[in-house]
Amino acid sequence: MAAYQLAQQALAGEFAARWAEALAAVEARDLADSLTVLEAEYAAAIRESAAASRVLSVAFYRLVRALATGRVIGGPGYRPGASLGSLWADFNRATGKRTGTGPREPLPVDTRNPFPAEDIARETDRVEETFRHQVADRVAKHERERKGSAALDDAELVAWEREFLESLKTGSAGAGGMLVQDGGRDVIHTALQDDPGALGYYRKTDSSPCHFCALMASRGAVYKSKRTAAFGAHPHCHCQAVPIFSRRYQLPAENGRFSRMWRDFGGGSLADWRTYYSKTTKT
């Protein structure tokens, strides 16, 4: 569903806007002395948006499952007497848009809870590692380079600092946005593995995916197993896993197009595929 993907993308955008505002409040020369404050803001922004991503993914999974099977799954957010109408209402609330509605008759219930509990320690470690690589290490390197920038005139120095800040913002926002959406993607993947009624998923890309995401989408439906538990998202990636619960499903047209492109490619390295994909999508 496009509404789900757009809502997840919007959550990453909300994080990025909040983080950009925090960075804009600090001068480049003061970044090294502001890392503690910036890390706290980075972590808080990711945590809040990732929590919303998880709520959205639970509502999405429960709705898609009910539409395919006629049954509602338990777990967080489940309310006795849930119907397709109430599940649509939950999903609409999570996306902030009215995207659908349904009847109010209560659905049969599968009481199993396949949704994972929030792993705060793991998520904290991931945020700390991301901040260190994307911000702290880069700021330290920039500080060392600044000592050798005495030969730059004022205009060159301003341009150099501006370029660094923009690069820092882009890299850290992309990596943080991935963590935000991983909050929801992890919910989907864990639920798929723990829900006996789930068959697998397919990868729904955005309108202009990179070569890697197009390749992953070309596989079509991926049926669940330990081997397929990982999704393979990356910074600035807005792909989502759409769960499937029946053999009667329809892939988006893009997946079929990427599958045909892969067959026409004929095989080779990932670098070869990247070149082929770039040339093909530009024509």
Q: Which of 198, 221, 254 is the last residue of a domain?
A: 198
Q: Are residues 167 and 213 in the same domain?
A: no
pTM of the model: 0.92
Q: What phi, psi does 143 have (nearest 5°)?
A: -65, -40
Rounded to the nearest 10 degrees, the angle between the axes of helix 120-131 and helix 154-194 is 160
Q: Are residues 7 and 96 in the same domain?
A: yes
**In angstroms, rounded to a whole number, what is the distance separating the alpha carbons of residues 274 and 267?**
12
Q: Which of 198, 228, 244 is the last residue of a domain?
A: 198
- Alpha-carbon torsion, ordered 120, 58, 74, 126, to 10 deg: -20
Q: Which of 198, 229, 255 is the last residue of a domain?
A: 198
Q: What is the pLDDT of residue 21?
A: 96
Output the tens digit of pLDDT for each of the chain's 283 residues. Answer: 789 999 999 999 999 999 999 999 998 888 999 999 999 999 999 999 999 999 999 999 999 999 999 999 999 999 999 999 999 999 999 999 999 999 999 999 999 999 999 899 999 999 999 999 999 999 999 988 877 666 666 788 788 888 999 999 999 999 999 999 999 999 998 999 999 999 999 999 988 899 999 999 998 888 876 555 567 889 999 899 999 998 888 899 999 999 999 999 988 899 999 999 999 987 6
Total structural domains within the chain: 2
**In angstroms, rounded to a whole number, what is the distance separating the alpha carbons of residues 81 and 76?**
15
**Nearest by Cα to 254 from 223, 188, 208:** 208
Cβ atoms of residues 65 and 57 within 8 Å: no
Q: What is the pLDDT of residue 235?
A: 92
In the 8-state DSSP scheme, what is residue 134?
I
Residue 162 token pair: 């501006």
Residue 77 token pair: 């957010």
Q: Are residues 143 and 251 in the same domain?
A: no
**Domain residues for 230?**
199-283
H runs (alpha helix) in the chain: 2-24, 35-69, 84-95, 120-131, 137-146, 154-194, 211-217, 253-265, 270-282
Angle, CA of 31, 35 and 38, to the nearest 5°: 100
**In angstroms, rounded to a whole number, what is the distance separating the alpha carbons of residues 179 and 177?**
5
Q: What is the pLDDT of residue 230?
A: 66
Q: Are residues 183 and 91 in the same domain?
A: yes
In the 8-state DSSP scheme, what is residue 117?
P
**In angstroms, rounded to a whole number, what is the distance separating the alpha carbons of residues 252 and 249?**
10
CB atoms within 10 A of CB 267: 8
Q: What is the pLDDT of residue 29?
A: 81
* Total count of residues recorded for the chain: 283
Q: Are residues 203 and 168 in the same domain?
A: no
Q: Are residues 27 and 114 in the same domain?
A: yes
**Nearest by Cα to 237 from 273, 215, 208:** 208
132: Cβ–Cβ under 8 A, 6 or more apart, which residues? none
Q: What is the pLDDT of residue 61?
A: 97
Q: Are residues 162 and 228 in the same domain?
A: no
